[in-house]
């Protein structure tokens, strides 16, 4: 079962922009209630789509530069990258099927 990758400023280009498969990024914080609600769902998706989708988590408290570069004003925010480009995103604690809809056509 695949695990979520901790995305930082140091590994963003390699893990996200140069990824051979689409990437789902979860911008979250430890103190965020809605983030805690969708966290297990995001982690489950990492296992379900292992090999077809890379799942990364960005702690906005630790990686404020990355959050700022992405214009994150609300968390959780989920962003899908494909071939180095943002192709979809949503904010808030959304159901699993809504998250899957962000990348379903890419995997």
Q: Rounded distance, CA 38 to CA 28, Å?
A: 10
Beta bridge partners of 59: 28
Tell me the three state secondary structure of residue 65: helix
Nearest by Cα to 59 from 88, 11, 26: 26
Catalytic residue among 4, 24, 25, 32: 32
Residue 57: which H helix or E strand, with range? strand 54-59
35 is a catalytic site residue = yes
Catalytic residue among 23, 24, 35, 46: 35
Tell me the three state secondary structure of residue 106: helix
4 is a catalytic site residue = no
Question: Where in the sequence numbering do the catalytic residues fall?
Answer: 32, 35
């Amino acid at each position: 079962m695949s695990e979520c990758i901790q995305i930082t400023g140091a590994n963003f280009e390699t893990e996200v922009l140069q990824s051979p498969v689409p990437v789902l990024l979860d911008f979250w914080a430890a103190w965020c209630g809605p983030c805690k609600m969708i966290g297990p769902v995001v982690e489950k998706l990492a296992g379900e789509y292992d090999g077809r989708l890379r799942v990364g988590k960005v702690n906005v408290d630790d990686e404020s530069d990355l959050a700022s570069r992405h214009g994150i004003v609300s968390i959780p925010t989920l962003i899908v990258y494909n071939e180095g480009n943002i192709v979809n995103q949503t904010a808030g604690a959304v159901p699993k099927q809504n998250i899957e809809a962000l990348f379903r056509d890419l995997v």
